[in-house]
Structure 1
Amino acid sequence: MAVLLLNFTMMHLAPGDVADTIAQSMGGADEEVLAQIRTDYGLDQPFLVQLARYMGGVLSFDLGYSYYHNAPVTDLILQRLPATLLLVFTAQIFALLLGVVLGVISARKPNGILSHFVTFFALFGYSAPVFWTGILLLIAFSLKIQWFPVSGMRDVTISGGFWVHAVDVARHMVLPTLTLSSIFLALYSRLSRATMMETLGSDYVRTAKAKGLTQRQVVYKHALKNALSPVITLAGLQFSAVVSGAVLVETVFAWPGLGTLAFESILVRDTPTILGILFFSALMVIVGNLLTDFVLRLVDPRLRARA
């Protein structure tokens, strides 16, 4: 409820409304026409009345009606949600897996070339704006080399069975996934390197080495589980940033998800759609945190013991 109240209040305080957008599309309108538009959409009602109407609609699973798309907001979101979930979870899993692998490898030789490369990559990936990275990847791999499609999620001219379309979607996903995961890959690789180096210096690791275990057994059977917990926790905390970053990435690559829908709705001041997207984004963050707790219990046996 707090999220709903905050979102609605911020949108209400923002200058302009849908009446201004409709007037612009008409080429202009006088005050009488603007007042009639606001009356038709209920925008002339007091703030508390509009808030109560919105809250009541959300509680009855009605997010309102899109002024711009002329469709229920819930239907619009459910149409775009699968594309966003596919992109967000793929980018998060890719960044997490590759970041842990790079961090573990560099931690085994902290003064090696790979370790310095991970440090440089972390600084570059964290400082580069995600939309700038996306544009560079588009220029390099779509316009120059032409390995991957420029935009969209699928090629409508392709015909075939399930696997043909699956491969087509996978090709369209490569550049958006790399772009969205770049900043988080840098974070995870750096953190996993630091936690693995700390874990490798602990007493139980030295004991495992004294028993005659190989370096691979010590790293992957004993040290890795304890080193993973901080990285997974960070991944859960960063899930909201992944969702917000998807707005820019989807806009750059014209990916048909919630990010593109949000961008279009902001341009035309489609308030019900914007509020619905913010509400679903908050739900996605909550689900991401719950999944993080579940994965932590699977990875760390100490958490299972406490439960």
Structure 2
Amino acid sequence: MRKLAPRLISAIGLLLAVLVLNFLLIHAAPGDPVQVIVGDMGGASPQLIAQMKAQYGLDKPLPVQLGLYLWQVLHGNFGYSVYFNMPVLDLILQRLPATIVLVLSSLILAVVIGTLLGIFSARRPRGILSHLVTLVSLFGFSAPVFWTGIMLTILFASVIPIFPVSGMFSVRDTGGFFAQTLDLLRHLVLPSVTLASIYIATYSRLARAAMLDVLGADYIRTARAKGLSERRVVFGHALRNGLIPIVTMVGLQFGQLLAGAVLVETVFNWPGLGRLAFDSILRRDYSTLLAILFFSAILVMVANALTDLAYRWIDPRIGGGRTRKATKTPAAPGSKSPGPAKG
């Protein structure tokens, strides 16, 4: 409980800082929702513009707007979406599951494939597979996710029409739960592969470097000397220590995954928070954009907390409990304490 309280206080302070900074940065940008609405209407009188600004609270000074916004968020009210014409919280809850499905599937795909490629290339550092992993890594680092998404869309829309290239479900009713799940997985293939492509390169190089370091350790040579199979040595002994830098990178890159989801969801028209953020930016929908940034910060904090738990599962010595203090055994009555050994 003593360790949980400081983390909870720091998390609350971080979320408050996120709210304040995002509010100030967004309101510092030119334009506002009223100007977008007036532009779509083809113009409006100054009286109508002033009335609309008063309706959305944009006529008040910026510190007053910030105070009112923080008070509303404290009570669970994230405002009303000007563009989508519905409460922001309901809108976020509708789009959040799609983003979580996309990000988690991409993360699992990147970690599993990247780690396996790194392990196999580390076993033979000068082999063909190792050079192939290096080439794949260079391509993954060089290709932007939106370009990869566009290329996959062209490939699977016209050349090899196997997977859907837009949306999360088919328009027609596909039947029961099993059929809908299968339809979701088919729509998920291209967005998740696109988002995972750059991170597969990252984890493959990181896993290769970590496994090369671990495979040269003394306890690995001892395990091989005992006659253990190579598979048990690699996956049973070396992989556990080699996973520590990979787990660290997962916690650090979760925020980048959410940022990359904005581009991927826009390319594939995936109905998640990324697509919602893109539309909110174009329409200057302040309330919706602020809520997206707030919930994204919560997701990143949850990912960091899960990373800490993964550390303790991989290596119980990390963040472990209290260490026992060395106690000195009292000498027997009348005995002398041993002095330094004479050489």
| TM tier relative to shorter chain | over 0.9
> Using the alignment, how far apart are the partners of 2:135 and 2:83 within structure 1?
45
Which of 242, 247, 257 is the equivalent residue of 2:262? 247
1:43 aligns with 2:51: no
Match of 1:278 in 2: 293
Deviation at 1:19, TM superposition (A): 1.2
Match of 1:137 in 2: 152
8 A Cα contact 2:110 2:200, kept in partner: yes
Correspondence list, 1:8-23, <5 A: 8-23=23-38
Deviation at 1:29, TM superposition (A): 2.7
Match of 1:194 in 2: 209
Which of 224, 247, 253 is the equivalent residue of 1:232? 247
> Using the alignment, how far apart are the partners of 2:80 and 2:320 within structure 1?
48
> Using the alignment, how far apart are the partners of 2:169 and 2:143 within structure 1?
28
Which of 250, 258, 264 is the equivalent residue of 2:279? 264
Give the AA of the match of 2:203: Y
Match of 1:155 in 2: 170
> Using the alignment, how far apart are the partners of 2:292 and 2:30 within structure 1?
20
1:205 aligns with 2:220: yes
Deviation at 1:154, TM superposition (A): 0.4
Tell me the alpha carbon deviations over residues 126-184 of structure 1, each in whole angstroms, 9 at most, x when there is no partner: 12110000000111122221001120000121331111110000000000000010111
8 A Cα contact 2:88 2:291, kept in partner: yes
Deviation at 1:304, TM superposition (A): 6.6
Identity among equivalent positions (%) equals 56
Give the AA of the match of 1:51: L
Taking a change above 3 Å as real, the CA distance of residues 277 and 155 of structure 1, as seen in their structure-2 partners, is same
> Using the alignment, how far apart are the partners of 1:246 and 1:208 within structure 2?
43
Tell me the alpha carbon deviations over residues 190-222 of structure 1, each in whole angstroms, 9 at most, x when there is no partner: 100000001011111112122222222211111
Match of 1:25 in 2: 40
TM-score by length of 1: 0.97
Give the AA of the match of 1:251: T
1:176 aligns with 2:191: yes
Deviation at 1:68, TM superposition (A): 0.9
SS at 2:140 equivalent: helix
8 A Cα contact 1:152 1:172, kept in partner: yes
> Using the alignment, how far apart are the partners of 1:110 and 1:169 within structure 2?
39
8 A Cα contact 1:80 1:258, kept in partner: yes
8 A Cα contact 1:91 1:181, kept in partner: yes
Match of 1:61 in 2: 76
8 A Cα contact 1:298 1:304, kept in partner: no
Tell me the alpha carbon deviations over residues 7-44 of structure 1, each in whole angstroms, 9 at most, x when there is no partner: 00001100110111011011023444322221221101
8 A Cα contact 2:174 2:183, kept in partner: no
> Using the alignment, how far apart are the partners of 2:123 and 2:253 within structure 1?
26
**Greater Rg over alpha carbons, structure:** 2
8 A Cα contact 2:81 2:288, kept in partner: yes
How many aligned residue pairs are there? 307
Which of 78, 82, 88 is the equivalent residue of 2:103? 88
Gaps of 5+ in 2: 1-15, 323-343
Deviation at 1:70, TM superposition (A): 1.1
Tell me the alpha carbon deviations over residues 89-134 of structure 1, each in whole angstroms, 9 at most, x when there is no partner: 0100111011111100000000011101111111110121100000
> Using the alignment, how far apart are the partners of 2:73 and 2:319 within structure 1?
36
> Using the alignment, how far apart are the partners of 2:131 and 2:308 within structure 1?
32
Match of 2:338 in 1: none
Match of 1:73 in 2: 88
Give the AA of the match of 1:239: F
1:289 aligns with 2:301: no
8 A Cα contact 2:203 2:246, kept in partner: yes
Deviates more, 1:153-162 or 1:229-238: 153-162
Match of 1:117 in 2: 132
> Using the alignment, how far apart are the partners of 1:162 and 1:189 within structure 2?
35
> Using the alignment, how far apart are the partners of 1:17 and 1:305 within structure 2?
50
TM-score by length of 2: 0.87
8 A Cα contact 2:211 2:238, kept in partner: yes
